[in-house]
Amino acid sequence: MRIGGYGTGGFRQDGGRDRAASFRARHSIGQRIKGRILRKEPNGLYWILAGGEELLARLEVQAEPGNELLFVVRALTPEIMLQALPEGMSAADLPGLVQRFRAAREVFEIQDSQLLSGLVGLPPVTAARVEAFRAALAQNDAASKRLADVLRLLGQVNALLPPDASRTAAYEPWLLPQARRQEAIRTASGGLRLSAVDAAAGEMELTASPTEAGIKLLFSAERPDAATAMLAEVATLLCGEPVLSANVTGPTRLRPNPLGGVLAELFGTCPSWSSGGLNTRV
């Protein structure tokens, strides 16, 4: 759902901005809200009552006026986006859990940014960074609790994956402590998919695949010209120093991911924003 301040037929109405601001003030990412289909317009759009606001939407799930739907708040800025969950889907659905994980991760990364910043500049050695991260946590009970909330939600995500799944969702903030919104998928074969956001390079994605000759690295960034140092750090972390056993490609330019990170790759047949969502104008 995108709330853009428009009314029937696409003409802007006074109060659209106020309704969007009101919605943001009363809702949070990952929150579930009930909605009801009010009526259908001749142009195929629907008026929907959700979160106390009447929204004009393009509905991408099957529904009729009078139907009630459950929505998950996916984003609040720069646009408000909601996802409609199909009837019968559990409240513990995978996309919803991923969003709750991301919300808890944001709280940890904002409130405990100093803890993470204290790891910046450490040698790119995984064991050393893990040890320093654990030592910092041991001296900060509040940060430990916030991280435990993040990992608890991540454990629920993994619990929803098929029993024979060869992939595991992971959160390893010590790998790149200067980056934020880190999330990763590790595979049984030793592969890694990681996404994060860096102040200089912007959004980033990494794929590391083991090969007979070593490791194949694919690295892309929103601003690749500013990501060379990050790629060198990642390659050293994964391959050791000197980096001789890596086949490295990048940094190449990253196309923005509308789903917010690599964990969206776990959704499988679960609805994503492009299937089972709403594009809405107030």
Q: Which of 51-55, 63-67, 149-153, 154-158 has the lowest mean pLDDT?
A: 51-55
Q: Which residues contact 90 (CB under 8 A, 6 or more apart)?
A: none
Record the pTM: 0.63
pLDDT band at residue 272 using 50, 70 and 90 as cut-offs: very low
Cα atoms found within 13 Å of the Cα of residue 141, Cβ hemisphere only:
0
What are the pLDDT digits (tens) for 52-107? 888 777 666 677 889 888 777 767 777 777 766 655 555 447 888 898 999 999 99
Amino acid 243: pLDDT: 56
| Average pLDDT, rounded, for the chain | 81
pLDDT band at residue 32 using 50, 70 and 90 as cut-offs: confident
What are the pLDDT digits (tens) for 160-178? 777 667 899 999 999 999 9
Domains and CATH numbers, the chain: 8-91 (2.40.50), 94-266 (no CATH)
pLDDT band at residue 281 using 50, 70 and 90 as cut-offs: very low
